[in-house]
């Protein structure tokens, strides 16, 4: 009778171990699938530098520059539409300490409307 109880406990241990191992493998497979799905369609853009927009100024002015050339919001719309075919990442960089929020918001809006999927910032958030 002791052998039967020991055998049943051993079988239960094996079943629980298999369940945990299977669950862990499924989590890992789902994670790998998520990584592959995120990279799908972006293989050509992995080594491409982001489209960089520098902003600056203080209230009420807003200075926007791309490749060291000062531009207007309309020129940013045109340039960002052209650059969208090259990369799907845009980077906003510059001095935001005294920057009007409308300037930053307008640049983000233009880049999103142009179709950039990733917009990154070149500064640390203030706390």
Q: How high is the mean pLDDT in each 10-residue block of the chain (127 residues)? A: 60 65 60 52 59 86 90 92 88 83 89 91 67
Distance separating alpha carbons of residues 100 and 66, to the nearest angstrom: 19
Number of H helices and E strands in the chain, helices first, is 3, 5
CA–chain centroid gap for 3, Å, is 57
Q: In terms of pTM, does the model score above 0.75?
A: no
Bridge partners of 64, per DSSP, are 55, 71
Distance separating alpha carbons of residues 98 and 13, to the nearest angstrom: 64
Tokens at 19, concatenated = 């369940």
Bridge partners of 56, per DSSP, are 63
89 close to 116: Cβ distance less than 8 angstroms: yes
pLDDT at 59: 74
């Amino acid at each position: 009778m002791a052998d039967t109880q020991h055998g049943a406990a051993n079988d239960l241990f094996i079943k629980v171990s298999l369940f945990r191992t299977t669950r862990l493998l499924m989590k890992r497979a789902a994670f790998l699938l998520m990584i592959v799905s995120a990279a799908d369609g972006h293989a050509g853009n992995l080594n491409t530098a982001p489209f960089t927009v520098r902003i600056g100024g203080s209230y009420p002015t807003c200075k926007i520059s791309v490749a060291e050339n000062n531009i207007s919001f309309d020129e940013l719309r045109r340039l960002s539409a052209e650059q969208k075919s090259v990369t799907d990442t845009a980077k906003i960089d510059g001095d935001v300490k005294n920057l009007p929020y409308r300037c930053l918001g307008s640049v983000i809006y233009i880049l999103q409307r142009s179709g950039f999927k990733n917009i990154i910032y070149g500064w640390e958030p203030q706390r």
